[in-house]
Amino acid sequence: MKKTIAIVAGGDSSEHDVSLRSAEGIHSFLDKERYEVYIIEIKGMTWEAHLKDGSRSNVDRNDFSFMEGGKRIRPDFAYITIHGTPGENGILQGYFDLIHLPYSTSDVLVEAMTFNKFTLNQYLKGFGVSVSESLIVRKGFEHLITDDEIIEKIGLPCFVKPNAGGSSFGVTKVKSADQIHEAILKAMRESDEVMVEAFMEGTEISQGCYKTQEKEVVLPATEVVSDNEFFDYNAKYNGQVREITPARLKEETAERVSLITSMIYDILGCNGIIRVDYIITHTTDENGKERERINMLEVNTTPGMTATSFIPQQVRAAGMDMKDVLTDIIENKLS
């Protein structure tokens, strides 16, 4: 009999609709001869399964089941593609652990840590991963640090971003002191914590990776060349960017990036597909020799999965098929 796969999408953040687009992508990629596939949309306390006739059925949160044609269906596996809360910060993973339903992402701790950009940076820094200088500003405690202190520690320009969030919602590239306060307020509309991060100029790349009991796959990196000030929402979703896969890197650099991506996957103990974003910077030392540094920006544990998203691009560049990749991930947890 076919296993039933629930693609869990939506969520409670500004990325709700982006997540639904990823769900449609995953639905198109999955092997329908092997699996029965449903999209389950979550928003607040409304959890609904999208049925094949176009109607919707309420999900019973006791066991994640729903009714279709008089029959109760309980999925065998949850493919989580919520970008933001509750699917990318460990909350939904904890629920699935409680009801013993296998899922596609990393576990509660990994999800919570990777969703908190500042915590992740400080943790991986201890393993020798290069990250930008940053500080955290918490809602209600903004008065504890002045704009001048931020500039002294971080410098200008800098990025002010929600500490928990994605798709570049609430992100500002700050170029002058008088922009800091408004940028923090904007970011706090997305998250109660705001990270102020030093600007790094260089080549921006993004690389996917997944591992199963049988294989380790590090995908070709994608180079991101934005028409905008940075890789913002319009660049990501409205075509104001060039995405070059494989990235135009020296062979030695590409190998180093792949090793770091694989190392980060193992350090965190990830599961399923992740995507790691980097900035590669170049400096000149006192002897005039150029130094290259691979700086991690963030780890995305539920990366976008539309046909044009980074991961499908990279899978195609690797000569692989998304259907096989998703089957690998699902069967790794069901076996």
- The one catalytic residue in 14, 57, 134, 309 is 309
Which helix H or strand E contains 163, and what residues bound it?
none
The enclosing H or E element of 122 equals helix 117-125
Residues 6+ apart with CB under 8 A from 59: 40, 47, 48, 49, 65, 66
Which element (helix H / strand E) includes 94?
A: helix 91-98
Look up 309 and say whether it is catalytic.
yes
Q: Is 104 a catalytic residue?
A: no
Q: Give the number of other CB atoms < 10 A from CB of residue 20.
A: 20
**Rounded distance between C-alpha atoms, residue 157 and residue 142, angstroms:** 20
Active site residue 68: no
Residue 68, classed as helix, strand or coil, is strand
Annotated binding site: 277, 298, 300
Residue among 19, 132, 134, 167 flagged as catalytic:
167
Binding site, annotated residues for Mg(2+): 277, 298, 300
Task: Classify 51 as helix, strand or coil.
Answer: coil
Question: Whole-angstrom Cα distance, residue 182 to residue 164?
Answer: 18
Name the one residue in this structure whose structure tokens are 């923090």.
Answer: 184
Catalytic residue among 15, 41, 197, 243: 15
Q: Is 206 helix (H, G, I), strand (E, B) or coil?
A: strand
In sequence order, the β-bridge partners of residue 37 are 5
Looking up tokens 């959890």 gives 47
Residue ranges in 146-232 assigned as alpha helix (H): 147-154, 180-188
End-to-end CA distance of the chain: 15
Phi/psi of residue 156, nearest 5 degrees: -125, 145
Alpha-carbon torsion (178, 180, 186, 188), positive or negative: negative
CB 148 within 8 A of CB 177: yes
Residue that has been written with the tokens 């109660």 in this structure: 192
Measured in whole angstroms, the distance separating CA 247 from the mean position of its chain's CA atoms is: 19
Q: Which residues are catalytic?
A: 15, 167, 309
